[in-house]
Structures are given as C-alpha cells and as structure tokens.
Structure 1
C-alpha cells in the first residue's frame, strides 16, 4: 500500500487530493499546525475525515517536519501548506515567505536526511510569472513575481529544482493557475462573488463590492487539478508542469457568469471600490498547458463559466 503525506490537508486542494488518494487505495496522513483544534471542515464535507490520520506539523520548524515525515513513513509527499492568499501576502509578507519557503526547504531537507525513496510534489503558482503582457506562459517562461506570495513561490520553486539536480531527489513542481471550488475560503474573490450572487438572488439588496474587474485569469476546477498532482509523481522522471485550462477570462466575465446562473444581471448589483485594489496586481494571466497534456495525458475538462455556475450553486448564504 502506498502512503501519502499531505502537508496542508485542511485547505481546498488538500481535501480533494486526500479523497482522490483514498479512492486509489493509499494510506493518507495529513498535517496541520494544530491538528487537535482544526475542525477539517473540508474533510468532513467530503466524508473522509475518519479515514485520514492527522499530524500536527509546523512547516517552518525542521524537527516538526522531520517528525511528520518519519511518523507517516510516506512514499509520496504533497507540499500544499503555507499562506495561500495573494492579497493577504501584502499584509503578512514575513509569514508568507516563512511558511512557503522554509516549509518547502524543510521537506526537501527531511527527504535528504532520511535517505528514503520519497517522491515530492510541490505546489507552485502562476503568480511566479508576473504580468505576461498577453503571452501564454510555458514551463520555460522567466519568472517575475509581483507580490510577496509570488516571490515566496518563486523561491520555493527554485529550491525544488536545486535539490532535484544536486541530490537526485524525485521532486516536481506543479505550476498551478487559478483553480476554484466551493471549498475556497470567503477571502478569495471567486468565493466572495459566488456567495454574493446567491445572497442577492434570495432578495438581499446589498451590492457586491469589488476592486478591479478587468484583470484576466485562467480559472479551472480544483478537483481536476489534484489529479494532475498525483500523475506527476507516477512518472519515471521528475519534471515541472503548468496545470491550467488554457483559457483566460476577465473577472468581469466570471462575475457575469455567476450572476447569470441565478438569473440576474450583474451590472444591477455590483459596485467597485478603488480601496480594494492591491498595491500591485497582474493585469493578465494566461497559460499553455500542453506539456502536461503530452506527458501526463492531463487536460482540464471544466472551464470558467461552469466553474462559476458550480460555485454559485453550492455557495452558502450567511
């Protein structure tokens, strides 16, 4: 039986990945900074909480990380932990870099220290590329991050590449573009939009307040993206892969799709506030996921309009 350690199992991707691996017959361990007090609501919603063994682990503490790796006896490690909000990284830059960079470094060091044949998946990000000025990113596109989150993910990406080359560790980075689901916290704009559309559809008249509507992103469906993570670690040779739909849309188009799914015209219910605009932001993000299609056989099936519809249908009205 294969054993997986999912660092950051309490997040959106961690829950869906755990469900996928359990379905494939894995023994699954998951980490949280405080496993005893974490309610793991995502695992409960998926009906798998009692099938996962949870471990308390602080990603920026090497002894804690090493203990989790040894205790789980994992053959595959999925590094998903860390501060995951681009917007919040401007307010918490130190926490963002520590949790992502040192968390990744400690996992790499733990694998090197134990000498075990462990495969590592590292969750990279499209934020590493910065603003592409209309070009579609490939795995060879240079990085130019424009947020503390992007800087942290870029540093972690380079650490993974360095350890793979220097020590022969089987380590892959999935350069994931935006991927959403009903398990996204409300601080993410897509979740905020979906919840507002449902709320207004029930008769609430308070408008939805957003920042820029002209930003362009590649939005996919998170449950499909975790399949690509798993597939990377089933290859004979480690490599890095862009994981995306290959289609980009404006935030305005996402808003329109969400409101349309509940029979509303978004223009009647949405206002903009310059105070919500980030210090720096990417105008356009676009991806070429052909490498993953060719090597992994992975292709996104769910595109943005359906993502928006599913999130809105599942959104809870407060």
Structure 2
C-alpha cells in the first residue's frame, strides 16, 4: 500500500498534527499482524525535510534541516520507516517527494492559489491575487508522474529510499508568469520592489498581483531542488510532463470553473464555493 496518512497542509504558523505518530501505528500494525512478508509500504516523505538546505541539489544523502512543524513531524515519519525496515526486515521505503502538483491540488497551496486566482481575475470574479515571497525557488512536477515513480519503488527486490523530483527549479514569480501566459495575457510585468512590488497584466496593464506580508513564512525555505539521478539510474524513471504543460493543465481547469461560476452569477444565481462539473 501507499501510506500517505499525514498532515497535508503546510502553514507557517500551524503546529504539527497530533496524529503525526500514524506512521509508526501503520508499521506496527503490519508487524504485529504477521503481514511483513506480504506487505510493501511506501511512505510519502517530503522535500520540506531539507528546509535550510545544506547542499544543492538535494539528494538522498543530503542532511535534513526542517524549518516548519510539518517538516519536523515528517522527519519522524522518515526515520521510523527506516527503523522498521532495518529492525524487522520490512519492505518499507521513503519517497522524498518534491512539490507535486495537478488540477486537484488544494486551493490554499501556492500553485493552485495562483492558477485559480488568476483564472478568477480573468473571469472578472476577482480583482487581485495577494502573494508572499515571490522569489522562493521550488522544483515542481506533475503528480501523475510522481505516482508512477512511487509504484516503481514498490516493484524492486529490496526497498530503498528515493528523491522524486524533476531536477528543474523555478521561482514562485515564474509560476505566476507561466500561468498568465497560459491565460493568454502575454505574461506579467513587474514594477516596484519589496512589499510595494506589483504585477501587471502584459496585455491590459491592470494590476493583478500584490504582496501581502501575512503570506510570508516565519522560517522561510528559500530554495528546493531535487536530484533525481538515483531514480533515473536504478528505476529508469524520468518525468514526462514539463512545467509549462503542468501549468497549462491547472490553468485550464481553473479557467473552466471560473467561467461556469461567472455565467451562473450573471444569471442571478448565488454561487457557494466553486462550480464543479
């Protein structure tokens, strides 16, 4: 099975979930039930383990330095998985997942916040998108590709931990620009600096992105870039979706939802939440 039972949301001021011990409970249940020979466990780890990065790019041997309660809690999940593998011979492995996105991403995560926010501006449902640190650097891939890698990890003769990443890094700022291009705006033109920086549509010059200090994290993770060399060499895995294709995929769904909502509102309907098919 793929074990993904953990706190999903990463928020700067949020404490770690008291259910963080779910990793050990799953592993111990498998052991006590005598299912170790029949069960293979994938533990969804995270690039947030690297936090204040000690080297770039980050690989399986890079020291961890988490910078959030979420990252600290996931550090326990990583090491308890290693412990049960080494202590009891269980087939359990950690996939150190760098940011993996899709149209199903939660609306509060930065990538979906961007694609949804700009799509709603395009549909004249909102006026502006408010962001935090535009210069944070991330390695973004498509969840579809990463799930294939997770499956491959479970097909090996012996369990191993792997970094799951694209090896390409871009800024939050660049993700916004790509989203604007996917909407047909021609991109974003930036003016000002610091908290006064504003992003303008390249086609209409309308101000559509502003900075809000509430969205800065207390302990920022400035840069994350994964090295998927081991995955390439041992499992023959290479991501097939480019960042541009990922952004287009997300923007297209959010634009469709925004257009539906705009249509319903024009017809006098009171729309609660997001229009869905």
What is the TM-score of this pair, normalised by structure 2?
Answer: 0.82
Aligned residues of 1:132 and 1:286 also touching (Cα < 8 A): no
Extract structure 1 runs of 4+ deviating beyond 4 A: none
Aligned residues of 1:134 and 1:286 also touching (Cα < 8 A): no
Aligned residues of 2:14 and 2:69 also touching (Cα < 8 A): no
Indicate the residue corresponding to 1:87 in structure 2: 11
Q: How does 1:170-189 map to 2 (within 5 A)?
A: 170-189=91-110
Indicate the residue corresponding to 1:103 in structure 2: 22
1:250 to 2:171 alignment: yes
Pick the structure with greater CA Rg. 2
Aligned residues of 2:101 and 2:142 also touching (Cα < 8 A): yes
Q: How does 1:249-288 map to 2 (within 5 A)?
A: 249-264=170-185, 265-266=187-188, 267-268=199-200, 269-288=208-227
| 1:130 aligned residue (47, 51, 67) | 51
- Larger RCO of the pair (alpha carbons < 8 Å, separation 6+): 2
User: How far apart are residue 156 of structure 1 and its match?
Assistant: 0.6
Closer/same/farther in 2, CA of residues 284 and 134 from structure 1, 3 Å limit: farther
Residues matched between the structures, number = 237
What CA distance in whole angstroms lies between the structure 1 residues aligned with 2:66 and 2:156?
Answer: 29
What CA distance in whole angstroms lies between the structure 1 residues aligned with 2:55 and 2:125?
Answer: 38
Aligned residues of 1:247 and 1:303 also touching (Cα < 8 A): no
User: Which blocks of at least 5 consecutive residues in structure 1 are unaligned?
Assistant: 1-76
User: Which blocks of at least 5 consecutive residues in structure 2 are unaligned?
Assistant: 189-198, 201-207, 259-273
What CA distance in whole angstroms lies between the structure 1 residues aligned with 2:63 and 2:243?
Answer: 26
Q: How does 1:1-318 map to 2 (within 5 A)?
A: 77-87=1-11, 90-93=13-16, 95=17, 98-100=18-20, 102-116=21-35, 117=37, 118-132=39-53, 135-204=56-125, 206-264=127-185, 265-266=187-188, 267-268=199-200, 269-315=208-254, 316-317=257-258, 318=274
Please give the root-mean-square deviation of Cα atoms over the aligned residues, in Å. 1.4
User: How far apart are residue 307 of structure 1 and its match?
Assistant: 1.3
What CA distance in whole angstroms lies between the structure 2 residues aligned with 1:153 and 1:234?
Answer: 24
Summarize deviations over 1:85-137 as a string: whole Å, max 9, x none.
1116x3232x2xx333x110001101110111211100000000112266101
